[in-house]
Amino acid sequence: MKNINAIIIQKIIDSIPPNMKLAEFLMDKLGLCKESAYRRIRGDVAFTIEQIMHLSLELGFSIDELVAQKNNDYILYRQKSLKAYEPNETFVAMFETFYESISRQCQAKDSYTIIALNRLPDIFTVSFENLFRFYYYKWVHQINDTSVNLSFSEIVLPPEVATLRNKILPYAGRHKNITFILDPNTFYNTLSDIQYYCSRGLIDDKELALLKNELRSIQDGIEILIRKGTWQEGHSISYSYSYYLSSVPIDNNSCYVWYDNHAESHYWFNSVISFYNKTKQATDLHKIWLESLKKYAELMTKSNELVQASYLKKHAELIETMF
């Protein structure tokens, strides 16, 4: 079993440029003298908790990763730290996690994502003003101690939420290689959320028309990607999409992301809050699980026209008839 010093030293070696000397890095980042740096490299002196925290922030690894490597019997999952369960702060914190991840993915030389969906997650609505605002409305309505009759028209995105959405927009949909495994009722589950608030008179006809138009746009975009399997941006960048239709229900939204030899897994237990893990043990297991779902799914991308047509027709009809 590796000791913590050895694990940290390996983390540093994996992260710093090849031409940078390990001892010099420790001297510079931790303010150590040369001999103190070598004592820690040899394992004669343990890193203090303050030094470990400083290195974790500097190099982008988490302390729970160290624990998982120290004791392989445990896998720890993380959530963006929240000072309070306050709707605005929670929403922003969760989207900051997504922004940090997707910006790194898009800037990476190579990446791969596999995601299983039983409903459209809020992070997929950033390109659609009204749908994004609906997810924020639903979150506030559910979590905030507010009037049960708060209407959709009363919701205005707070400046920090609007700013974060604008930061994410340039990266939306720009996955170099992504595989979707869709629950048969992915759209139905999303539409039923909207239908609930419509049935209570909290979304008026004009607002519903805007939401339906954006849902149609998502549907049209999915149809194009299912048929073509690629999306070209300019002359140099190409994005690859694969869509599978599951024959069994998918329990919850989750995704595995790999980019430039870094992997992470995200799990949503509701439409906003997610847990994530970046340890190799956990992400490898998650990838195996997601890939195994293909056994119960049919590939729709550039194939199975009958399955494509049935799936797309079903959800197009739902958009028109559920309200």
Q: What is the pLDDT of residues 67-102, one digit of tens each?
A: 555 555 444 445 554 444 577 777 888 788 788 888
pLDDT(2) > 60: no
Question: Model confidence over 142-190: pLDDT tens digits?
Answer: 877 788 899 999 999 999 999 999 999 988 878 889 999 999 988 888 8
Residue 64, pLDDT score:
60
Residue 1, pLDDT score:
39
Residues 6+ apart with CB under 8 A from 140: 87, 146, 150, 155
Residue 289, pLDDT score:
94
Instruction: Provide mean pLDDT across the span 256-266.
Output: 88
Which H or E run contains 287?
Answer: helix 280-292
Pick from 30-44, 69-83, 231-245, 274-288: least confident = 69-83
The residue with greater pLDDT, 309 or 232, is: 309
pLDDT(120) > 50: yes
pLDDT(57) > 80: no
Pick from 75-79, 159-163, 212-216, 304-308: least confident = 75-79
From residue 285, alpha-carbon distances to 72, 250, 255, 261, 288 in Å are: 13, 17, 12, 16, 5
**138 vs 155: CA distance, rounded Å:** 10
Name the residue among 228, 100, 247, 68 with its Cα closest to residue 164.
Answer: 100
- What's the predicted TM-score (pTM) here? 0.74
Residue 74, pLDDT score:
45
Q: Parallel, antiparallel, or unpaired: how do β-strands 262-268 and 237-246 relate?
A: unpaired
Kindly state the tokens that stand for 261: 């030899």
**Other CB atoms within 10 A of residue 318 CB:** 19
Rounded to 10 deg, the angle between the 49-59 and 4-15 helix axes is: 30
Name the residue among 274, 262, 114 with its Cα closest to residue 179.
Answer: 114
Our measurement of the distance from residue 262's CA atom to the centroid of its chain's CA atoms, rounded to an integer in Å, reads 14
Is residue 303 within 8 Å of 310, Cβ to Cβ? Answer: no
